[in-house]
């Protein structure tokens, strides 16, 4: 499958034409085109001669919005294929911390660049990148990617945080690592700073059995691990009923809190996420490899949750390709429609990152960044599915 990223290069009008145009999950146009000027789309629809601009005819295949990887950690890309995933979550976390240390800054930066190449080669041009170390700012700023850099914090200390801007297409926002690694005071402080600026906030939530045991009992191997690392959790309001309810009680759930993973969530939790309109980022392959389970996608869909896709880091998944996540979810979630999968990978991802006015659909006023996918299908009903099927 050949995927070609198309990045606006010139100011003047340019027309991209292909056999099909997927403006969004519901709007498929045969012999479609997108006219771009000064980096923005000025027209999208059926190709007709006479439109002003240089024509790039991409032949058969489909023009579509760039894929959105709403959750990854580019700074961990150098760990690709180097960690054991089947010895439990704690072993993985410990190995990750030690290997990250051993790899060193230069090795991590080399991995970061490789990660960006993986993203662009697989058609992802919009990303929600978790940055715990801040080492990739310059690289990201100079890349063709756009999106959000979530500066991530954990533990008990509420830090001074400069809300600086990254050059290029990135906005800086904040992430709390997770409810089992961070104090309620820290999480509230981070969320409030995002709220004041209208920015998204991201958090890993309900990912592992160890997190569930700790949140619901205050004991277990995770409690021991925190104690071993010298982190005092006596004031964290734990035990409580569930990770989702913990966040709800802290007032952290709303339409700008991107909840990542949410594997462990009962019906009440899913209802809470629905009531608060909190978007959920599924990382299906990472969840499968690291935890041998998946989130309740059907129930989440039935409750109207905004679902998007992320790969998580290369420390827990074999590629940063959102197309691979689309393929995986199509195989593992029964009854899911190609249209839903397409929406998760494009429009929903953009909306979950607070970028729904710029990315996720191809229509006038939106970003002129798009991708061309060389699919084999000819019939309208097969187009969306063929984007992720080999």
For the chain, what's the residue count? 390
Chain-centroid distance, C-alpha 69: 4
Nearest approach, Cβ of residue 186 and Zn ion (Å): 17
SS3 state at 367: strand
Nearest approach, Cβ of residue 72 and Zn ion (Å): 7
Closest CA to 330 of 261, 386, 278: 386
**Measured from the CB atom, is 118 or 312 closer to Zn ion?**
312
**Measured from the CB atom, is 72 or 146 closer to Zn ion?**
72
* Integer Cα distance of 281 and 336 in angstroms: 16
**Measured from the CB atom, is 75 or 312 closer to Zn ion?**
312
Return all residues near 259 (Cβ < 8 A) that are at least 6 apart. Answer: 203, 205, 206, 244, 247, 253, 273, 278, 279, 280, 281
Spatial contact of 262 and 242, defined as CB atoms under 8 Å apart: no
DSSP 266-302: -HHHHHHHHHTT--EEE-HHHHHHHHS----HHHHHH
**Measured from the CB atom, is 92 or 225 closer to Zn ion?**
92
Nearest approach, Cβ of residue 32 and Zn ion (Å): 36
**Measured from the CB atom, is 45 or 111 closer to Zn ion?**
111
The structure tokens listed for 266 are 């009962």
Nearest approach, Cβ of residue 277 and Zn ion (Å): 22
**Measured from the CB atom, is 41 or 308 closer to Zn ion?**
308
Q: How far apart are the first and last CA of the chain?
A: 7
Nearest approach, Cβ of residue 126 and Zn ion (Å): 17
Residue with the CB atom nearest Zn ion in the bound state: 312
Nearest approach, Cβ of residue 274 and Zn ion (Å): 23
**Measured from the CB atom, is 35 or 72 closer to Zn ion?**
72
Which pairing describes strands 62-64 and 14-24: parallel, antiparallel, or unpaired?
parallel
* Integer Cα distance of 246 and 240 in angstroms: 6
Nearest approach, Cβ of residue 73 and Zn ion (Å): 6
Instruction: Indicate the DSSP class of residue 348.
Output: H
Positions in the binding site for Zn ion (CB under 5 A): 312
**Measured from the CB atom, is 205 or 329 closer to Zn ion?**
205
Nearest approach, Cβ of residue 208 and Zn ion (Å): 12
Nearest approach, Cβ of residue 30 and Zn ion (Å): 39
**Measured from the CB atom, is 137 or 312 closer to Zn ion?**
312
Closest CA to 336 of 309, 374, 375, 368: 309
Nearest approach, Cβ of residue 79 and Zn ion (Å): 13
Query: Alpha carbon of 225 to those of 181, 191, 228, 230, 247: distances in Å?
Result: 10, 26, 5, 9, 22
Dihedral of alpha carbons 317, 322, 327, 332, sign: positive
Query: Alpha carbon of 142 to those of 116, 283, 361: distances in Å?
Result: 11, 27, 24
**Measured from the CB atom, is 270 or 314 closer to Zn ion?**
314
Query: Alpha carbon of 139 to those of 113, 166, 338: distances in Å?
Result: 7, 10, 34
Spatial contact of 307 and 288, defined as CB atoms under 8 Å apart: no
* Integer Cα distance of 74 and 66 in angstroms: 18
């Amino acid at each position: 499958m050949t995927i070609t990223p198309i990045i606006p290069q010139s100011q003047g009008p340019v027309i991209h034409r292909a056999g099909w145009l997927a403006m969004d999950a519901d709007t498929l146009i045969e012999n479609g085109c997108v006219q771009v000027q000064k980096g923005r789309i000025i027209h999208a629809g059926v190709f007709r001669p006479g439109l002003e601009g240089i024509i790039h005819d991409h032949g058969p295949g489909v023009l579509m919005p760039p894929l959105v990887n709403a959750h990854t950690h580019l700074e961990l890309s150098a760990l690709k294929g180097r960690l054991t995933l089947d010895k439990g979550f704690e072993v993985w976390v410990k190995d990750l911390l030690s290997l990250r240390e051993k790899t060193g800054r230069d090795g991590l930066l080399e991995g970061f660049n490789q990660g960006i190449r993986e993203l662009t080669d697989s058609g992802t041009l919009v990303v929600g990148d978790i940055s715990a170390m801040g080492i990739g700012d310059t690289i990201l700023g100079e890349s063709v990617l756009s999106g959000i850099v979530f500066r991530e914090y954990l533990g008990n200390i509420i830090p001074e945080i400069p809300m600086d801007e990254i050059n290029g297409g990135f906005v800086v926002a904040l992430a709390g690592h997770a409810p089992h690694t961070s104090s309620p005071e820290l999480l509230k402080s981070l969320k409030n700073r995002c709220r004041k600026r209208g920015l998204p906030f991201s958090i890993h939530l309900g990912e592992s059995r160890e997190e569930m045991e700790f949140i619901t009992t205050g004991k277990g191997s995770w409690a021991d691990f925190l104690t071993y690392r010298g982190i005092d959790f006596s004031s964290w309001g734990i035990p409580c009923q569930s990770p989702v309810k913990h966040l709800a009680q802290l007032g952290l759930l709303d339409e700008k809190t991107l909840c990542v993973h949410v594997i462990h969530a009962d019906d009440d939790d899913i209802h809470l996420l629905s009531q608060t309109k909190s978007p959920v980022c599924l990382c299906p392959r990472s969840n499968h490899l690291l935890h041998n389970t998946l989130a309740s996608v059907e129930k989440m869909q039935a409750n109207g949750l905004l679902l998007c896709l992320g790969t998580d880091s290369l420390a827990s998944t074999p590629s940063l390709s959102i197309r691979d996540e689309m393929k995986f979810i199509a195989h593992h979630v029964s009854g899911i429609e190609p249209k839903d999968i397409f929406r998760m990978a494009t429009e929903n991802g953009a909306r979950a990152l607070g970028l729904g006015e710029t990315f996720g659909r191809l229509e006038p006023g939106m970003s002129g960044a798009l991708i061309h996918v060389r699919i084999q299908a000819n019939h309208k009903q097969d187009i969306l599915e063929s984007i992720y099927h080999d």
